[in-house]
Amino acid sequence: MKKFYFLFGEGSKVNQIICALLINLPVFAYGASVGWMSPMTLLLQSENSPRGVPLTDNEVSWMGAIAYLVCVPADFLMAILSDKFGRKFTMFFLSSMGFGCWVIKLSSMEPWAFVLARALVGMLMAGSYVTCPLYTKEISENSIRGMLGSLVIIFHTTGNLFLYIIGDILSYRTILWVCLSLPAIHLMLFTMMPESPSYLVKKGELEKAAKALAWLRCRREDDITVLNELDQIKKEQTNDEDSNKFALKAILSDKILFRAFKIALAVALAREFCGAIPVTNYAGEIFTMASEGTGLVLTPNQQAMMLGAVQVVGSALTFGTVEKAGRKTLLFITSLVSGLSMVALASWFLARAYNIHAPAWLPIATLCLCIFCDSYGLQPMSVIITGEIFSFKYRGTVMATAMASASTSAFLQMLFFKPIVSTIGIHVAFYSFGGVCLITALYAILVVPETKKKGLEEIYQSLKTKKEKLAEECEKKTKFEA
C-alpha cells in the first residue's frame, strides 16, 4: 500500500484529480440530460416525431420545468443523505437516479413518462450541485481547491455539448442507450474511491480518515502534512460542536455566518437569473427565432452545438485561471460582460420587432458571450465560493438551501419562459436577465469577499465590518495589558 502512495511521486496531486474527475462524472450525466432537451424537443415537436404525435408546448414546458421543481426538496434530501450516510453512498444514489431516468425514456414515449424521467433528472441535478461540490472540496488541498471545484461546471457544460453533438448525428433510441451507459460506468468505477476524510472524522473513524488523506495526498499515513491536515479537520469540527443549534438556526443567529449565508444565496440566485437556464434548454428554438430571415446556413441545433462549445471553453479556462485571477474578480468581470451582452441581445430582438435593421450576427455573438461568461465565472464562482465560506457542519445545509432557492427560480423560468416570449416578447426576458447580471457585478465588488487560498478564519475576518474589527483589536489589547 505504501508503495502506491509514491507511484506518481510523494506529494503528487494525481490521486486528488482522479477522485475529483470520478466525483463529477454524474455531473456530466446531468449535463447530458439538460442538453437532451434542445435537440430532442425540436424532434419530438416536429412532424417526424418518433412518438408519432408531436408533443405540445405545454407538455414540453412541464418536461423542462419538473426537474427544477423536484430539485427543491431533493437538495435537502442530498444534504441529509450526505451527512447521514456519507458522500460516497450519495454518489451511488445519484447514478441510480440517472440510470432510472434513461430506462424510463427507453420504456415509454408517453408524456407522463417524459415528465417522470425528467423528475429523476431533478434528483441528479440536486446531487450535482450539492453533494459533488462538497465532496470535491473535502478531498482537495487548498492550493488546488478552486481548480478542482471548477470541474463541476466543466463536466456540466461538456455533458451539454456531448448531447448537442450526438443529438445531431445519432438516432433517438441510440442516444438514450448512450446516456444510459454513463451512470452505469460511474457505478462501477466509483467503488474504488475513498470516502470524504471530513465525513470519516465526523463519524469518529480517524484511522480510515488518515488512510483516505494519505492516499489522496500521495503520502504516508504518518507524514506530518497528513497529520496536520487531519488535526485541522478535527479542529474545525470541534469548533462546530460548540454550537449545538440546528444548522440553519445557528447561521441566522450569528452575524458573520448570516453574512456568509446571504452571499451564498445571492450568488446562487444570480447564477440562475443570468439567462443561461432557458438559453441552454431552448437553445435550438432561440436560434430559430434569431435566424429567421437572416440567411444563416447553420441549423438551429448546429448553432446550439456552437453555443455548447463556447460553454466548454469558458469552463475550461476557469480550471486554468481560477487560482490566479481569484473568485471576486472573475465574478465581477463575467457578470458585467454577461449583463451587457444580454441587454444588447434584447435590444436586437426589440429592433426586429419594429422592423429596424440589426446585424444578423449579433444574436449568435451575444448569446455565445453570455454563455461563455456564465460558464467562466457566474456558475463556477457561485459553487466554489459557497463551498469555501462554511465549515463542515453548515456546508451541506447552505449548499442545499442555496440550490433549492436557485432551483425554484429555475423552475419558474422554465415554466413561464415560453409563455412570456409568446405574449410579451423575448426582449423583455433578456432585458431582465441583463439587469440581474449588472446588479450582480456591483454586488461582487461591494460585498463578496475574496476566498482564494484562504482558510475559514481569514474569510470570516474579511466579512467583519471596520467597527467589529476595531472592537476586536481593542478587546485583544485590553486582555494583553491585563
> Using 50, 70 and 90 to split pLDDT, how confident is the model at 2?
very low
Do the Cβ atoms of 95 and 29 come closer than 8 Å? yes
For residue 103, name the pLDDT band (cuts at 50, 70, 90).
very high
First to last CA, the chain: 54
- Residue 8 banded pLDDT, cuts 50, 70, 90: low
**pLDDT for residue 4:** 46
> Is 219 inside a domain boundary?
no
pLDDT band at 149 (very low <50, low <70, confident <90, very high): confident
pLDDT at residue number 476: 66
Q: Is the pLDDT of residue 460 over 60?
A: yes
Give the C-alpha separation, 162 to 31, whole Å: 9
- With respect to residue 248, please indicate whether it lies within any of the assigned structural domains: yes
Residue 439, pLDDT > 90, answer yes
Asked if the model's pLDDT at residue 281 lies above 80, the reply is no
Q: What is residue 274's three-state secondary structure? A: coil
Report which listed range, 55-69, 107-121, 466-480, is most confident: 107-121
Residue 105 has a pLDDT of: 93
pLDDT of residue 293: 55
| pLDDT, mean of residues 30-37 | 89
Of 27-41, 233-247, 290-304, which gets the smallest average pLDDT? Answer: 290-304
Cα separation, 137 vs 154, whole angstroms: 15
Q: In the chain, what percentage of residues exceed pLDDT 70? A: 90
| 56's grid cell | 405540445
**Whether pLDDT at 336 is above 80:** yes
Q: What is the mean pLDDT of residues 191-211?
A: 91
Q: Is residue 125 part of a domain?
A: yes
CA distance 39 to 131: 29
List the alpha helices (DSSP H) in 389-450. 392-423, 426-446
Establish if 208 belongs to a structural domain.
no
Per-residue confidence (pLDDT) for residue 249, from 0 to 100: 77
DSSP 13: S
pLDDT of residue 23: 95
| Within a domain: 233 | no
340 in a structural domain: yes
The CATH number of residue 351's host domain is 1.20.1250.20
309-323 tens-digit pLDDT: 888 888 888 877 877
Q: Quick one: CA torsion of 28, 32, 33, 34, rounded to 10 degrees?
A: 100
Q: Which residue has the higher pLDDT, 411 or 258?
A: 258
Listing DSSP states for 84-117 in one string gives HH-HHHHHHHHHHHHHHHHHHHHH--SHHHHHHH
Taking the C-alpha atoms of residue 68 and residue 63, their distance in angstroms, rounded to an integer, is 10
Domain of residue 329 covers 13-193+243-468
State the average pLDDT over residues 23-46: 88
Comparing CA positions, the residue from 345, 315, 320 lying closest to residue 161 is 315
Q: Is 347 within the bounds of a domain? A: yes
Contact 248, 397 (CB under 8 A): yes
Q: What is the pLDDT of residue 361?
A: 76
Residue 169: CB atoms within 10 Å: 9
pLDDT at residue 246, as a whole number: 65
CA distance 69 to 73: 8
Please compute the mean of the pLDDT values over residues 246-264 and round it to a whole number: 83
3-state SS track over 438-480: HHHHHHHHHCCCCCCCCCHHHHHHHCCCHHHHHHHHHHHHHHH
Average pLDDT on 333-347 reads 91
- The closest of 160, 159, 153 to 271, measured between CA atoms, is 153
State residue 62's pLDDT score. Answer: 84
CA dihedral sign of residues 228, 234, 240, 246 = positive
- Average pLDDT, whole number, for the chain? 84
Helices 111-129 and 57-85 meet at what angle, rounded to 10?
A: 40
pLDDT of residue 388: 83
pLDDT band at 408 (very low <50, low <70, confident <90, very high): confident
Report the pLDDT value the prediction gives residue 427, as an integer from 0 to 100. 86
**Tally of domains within the chain:** 1
User: What is the model's pLDDT at position 3?
Assistant: 44
Read off the pLDDT of residues 207-243 as tens digits, 9 standing for 90 and up. Answer: 999 999 999 999 888 889 889 889 888 887 776 665 5
Is residue 29 pLDDT above 80, yes or no? Answer: yes
Per-residue pLDDT band for 458 (boundaries 50, 70, 90) equals: confident
324: in domain: yes
